[in-house]
Amino acid sequence: MSFLDEIKLDFKIEDVDINTYSPLTLAFIGDCVFDLVIRSVIVCRANRQPNKLHKLKANVVKAQTQSEMAKALMDDMTEEEAAVYKRGRNAHSFSSAKNASIQDYRRATGLEALVGYLYLLNRSDRILELISLGLRKLEIDI
C-alpha cells in the first residue's frame, strides 16, 4: 500500500478523478512531492549541516532549475504527461516566483503539475524516473 493510499484510508478520503483537478492544484501537491524527493536524496546521501542541506535543496527546487529540467525532459514525456505539463505551464497563477522569469516560473509550474498528477496516480516509479533523468541531463549531483 502506498503512502497516499494510507493517507486516503486513515482520513477516509474517497477517490476522485484527478482529471477534474485544476493544474494549479496538481502543482500545489507536486511542488511538495518534488521537494520531498530532492530532500530525501540529499539527506540519505550524507549527514550534513542544515544550512548546507538547504543550499543543496534550494539549488534544485528553484524555478529556474525546474524550468531547465522540464525543457530537458520534454522528449521523454509520454503524450499524456506532456499534456498535463502543458496544462500546468499554461495555467494562470496569481503569484510568481521572487527570483525567476515568468517563463521559468510557468515551466516550473508545469513540471510540478506533472509530478502532482503522477503522485495522485500512485506513479512514484515514474516520478523518480523523470527526476533522476532530469538531474542526469542537467548534470546535477546532489
Q: Is 15 exposed, middle or buried (0-12, 13-18, 19+ CB in 10 A)?
A: exposed
Which residue carries 503512502 as its cell? 3
Across the range 71-85, mean pLDDT stands at: 98
Indicate the pLDDT class of residue 93, thresholds 50, 70 and 90. Answer: confident
Indicate the pLDDT class of residue 99, thresholds 50, 70 and 90. Answer: confident
Across the range 112-137, mean pLDDT stands at: 98
Across the range 64-89, mean pLDDT stands at: 98
Task: For residues 111 and 24, give the distance between their C-alpha atoms in angstroms, rounded to a whole number.
Answer: 11
Domains recognised in the chain with CATH numbers: 22-137 (1.10.1520.10)
Task: For residues 33 and 98, give the distance between their C-alpha atoms in angstroms, rounded to a whole number.
Answer: 21
The pLDDT of residue 98 is 78
Our answer to whether residue 5 is catalytic in this structure is no
Indicate the pLDDT class of residue 106, thresholds 50, 70 and 90. Answer: very high
Annotated active-site residue in 5, 17, 31, 125: 31
Q: Is 53 exposed, middle or buried (0-12, 13-18, 19+ CB in 10 A)?
A: middle
Alpha-carbon torsion 33, 78, 13, 3, what sign? negative
Indicate the pLDDT class of residue 75, thresholds 50, 70 and 90. Answer: very high
Q: Is the pLDDT of residue 38 over 90?
A: yes
Q: What's this model's pTM, rounded to 2 decimal places?
A: 0.96
Mean pLDDT of all residues belonging to the chain? 96
